[in-house]
Amino acid sequence: MTVVSIRWAASAEKGSEHPLGRAIVARAEGEGIALGELADFEAVRGKGVRATVDGHVVLVGSRALMAEAGVDIAALEGRMQRLEDEAKTAMLVAVDGQAIGMLAVADTLKGDSVAAIRELGEMGLQTVIITGDNRRTAEAIARQVGISCVLAEVFPGDKAAEIRRLQEEGLTVAMVGDGINDAPALAQADVGVAIGTGTDIAIEASDITLVRGDLAGVVTAVRLSQATFRKIRQNLFWAFFYNVVMIPLAILGMMHPVLAEAAMATSSVTVVTNANMLRRTRIRPTYQG
């Protein structure tokens, strides 16, 4: 990444609200690079940005963005593929129709990601990664965390459609996300889980909001819901067992009504006691102790 490339890219990204765009601007400012004058900024959905900087047309983004503008990137293709194999997203930079370089950006995996994905798998849940990144980068990230199913190169507006497609296959889908573009998918999913450190719109669209920004909360939420449903089924059994057995016996005169009434009271006590035992259920991920 040359100073020239980052200057043009950061100057164009000044108008962007995307986290990667803000990261590029922060890097340039941190290195004391003077940015150019921005005009005519345009965010190209799922592909990058187009802007005028100091009178020059600047493109920052994906292969698709460059292809639309007729920019030749053949000389950079080999290096791009190497970066993508390292789970990095290569953002190409072009000025006045000429490719001048690229920036490599990457999300840092949270420390508990691998363990959380493994534990979800042990619970019988299939994990899927859905991302706008190119397939090579997405698959490299998936390998790192142990996810076998990858939905890559999905435009922001198409994530909800991908969730709907999975549902039409008969799957119950829980979506975990934190960005503006995740909101429609969070609303479409059977259960939307927002990361509390994410955007307000994602939190509003979700069913569950995790206060902490880590996947351990997802494991905890799943364990708690499973434990709760187990208690519900157990309590239904005990409630019906007492009533189905005792009430007919009392009606037939085979049991004193007082005993049947006592059995019903015992049923209520059993249900309440069993529900309170939920507090003793282990719901924290095993890797957290």
Give 170-175 contacts, CB < 8 A, sequence gap 24+: 171/126, 174/222
Range of the domain at 247: 223-288
Q: What is the pLDDT of residue 150?
A: 92
Tokens representing 233 are 């089924």
Total domain count, the chain = 3
> Does 156 share its domain with 93?
no
> Does 122 share its domain with 204?
yes
Which amino acid type is present at position 286?
T
User: pTM above the 0.85 mark?
Assistant: no
> Does 195 share its domain with 134?
yes
Which of these three, 218, 242, 270, is where a domain ends?
Answer: 218
> Does 57 share its domain with 83?
yes
Judge contact between 103 and 5, C-beta under 8 A. yes
Which of these three, 166, 188, 218, is where a domain ends?
Answer: 218
CATH code for the domain in which residue 183 is found: 3.40.50.1000
> Does 86 share its domain with 17?
yes
Q: What is the mean pLDDT of residues 61-70?
A: 91
Judge contact between 222 and 120, C-beta under 8 A. yes
Give me the torsion for CA of 146, 147, 150, 152, rounded to 10°. Answer: -60
- Please determine, for residue 3, whether its predicted confidence score (pLDDT) is greater than 70: no
> Does 70 share its domain with 28?
yes
Confidence of residue 214 (pLDDT cuts 50, 70, 90): confident
> Does 142 share its domain with 65?
no
**200 contacts: CB under 8 Å, gap ≥ 6:** none
> Does 151 share its domain with 54?
no
Q: What is the pLDDT of residue 288?
A: 61
**pLDDT tens-place string over residues 16-47:** 877 788 888 998 888 889 899 998 899 888 78
CATH code for the domain in which residue 30 is found: 3.40.1110.10
Judge contact between 175 and 189, C-beta under 8 A. yes
Which of these three, 198, 218, 238, is where a domain ends?
Answer: 218
Which amino acid type is present at position 211?
V
> Does 136 share its domain with 189?
yes
**206 contacts: CB under 8 Å, gap ≥ 6:** 177, 186, 192, 193, 194
Tokens representing 106 are 């990457």
> Does 51 share its domain with 92?
yes
> Does 232 share its domain with 203?
no
> Does 119 share its domain with 209?
yes
